[in-house]
Amino acid sequence: MSDALNYLLKARPEAMGAYFKFLKESGKSLDPKTRMLITVITKVATQTEKGLRQYLPRALDAGATPGEILDAILHAFPALGLARIFWAIDILIDMDIPEFRAENLGAGLRWHDLAAVDAIADGKVTYCDSDGRSLFVYRSGDSFDVYDSRCPHQVTNIPHLALEGFRLTCPKHHWEFDVRTGACTGKGDRPMKRFESKIENGQLRARW
Ligand code: FES
């Protein structure tokens, strides 16, 4: 949430409570994906950079494909105009979200090799790279949990050095996560993104 909203929530709680109730009520007939697509468009229309960085990944989490998000922005051209659309695309390029890279657009979900199972230490967190994405893997016996290194807040690529024991702290706004469960344990309110995984021919594979 922005500093301005935080301030208004404290200074005018009743008015802001009514505002949030209005937002909730006005979108209640919409499915989560549609709500997120509309929210992305409003962030572009008002040129709210923080909000756009925050809601692009939320739209993906809500099930929108990168193609649908791009089409939604382009389809709002009469309201947004070319300058705002370019503004949004510049931010999108700067964020370097793997799903939006040209080579991944329209590729759909695929399985990717991460590492040989024997090379992943039990009871520890292993950091690895695969097909242009970085991941944190927590192994507990025969169970493997694979998490995106991209922060669920604004998609910052959290580096390996940000890991202390099992606590991972995003360098941008200091959200904290427990890499054993992916839960957000400090400051923020969203868990790490977990990918489906499987073992095949001695290799740990994950799907995104
Ligand atoms: S991008 Fe804001 S805490 Fe990670």
Q: Is 173 in the pocket of ligand 1 (CB under 6 A)?
A: yes
Tell how far the Cα of 15 is from the centroid of ligand 1, in angstroms. 29
Q: Give the DSSP per-residue string, 32-59.
A: HHHHHHHHHHHHHHTT-HHHHHHHHHHH
pTM of the model: 0.84
Structural domains in the chain, sorted by start: 31-104 (1.20.1290), 111-207 (2.102.10.10)
Of 25-29, 73-77, 136-140, 167-171, which range is least confident?
Answer: 25-29
Q: Encoding tokens for residue 183?
A: 């839960």
Cβ of 195: how many Cβ atoms within 10 Å? 19
| 203, containing H or E segment | strand 203-207
The pLDDT tens digits for 61-91 are: 999 999 999 999 999 999 999 999 999 999 9
Which candidate, 76, 63, 4, 1, places its Cα nearest to that of 36?
63
Pocket test for ligand 1, best of 151, 158, 168, 185 (most atoms within 8 A of CB): 151
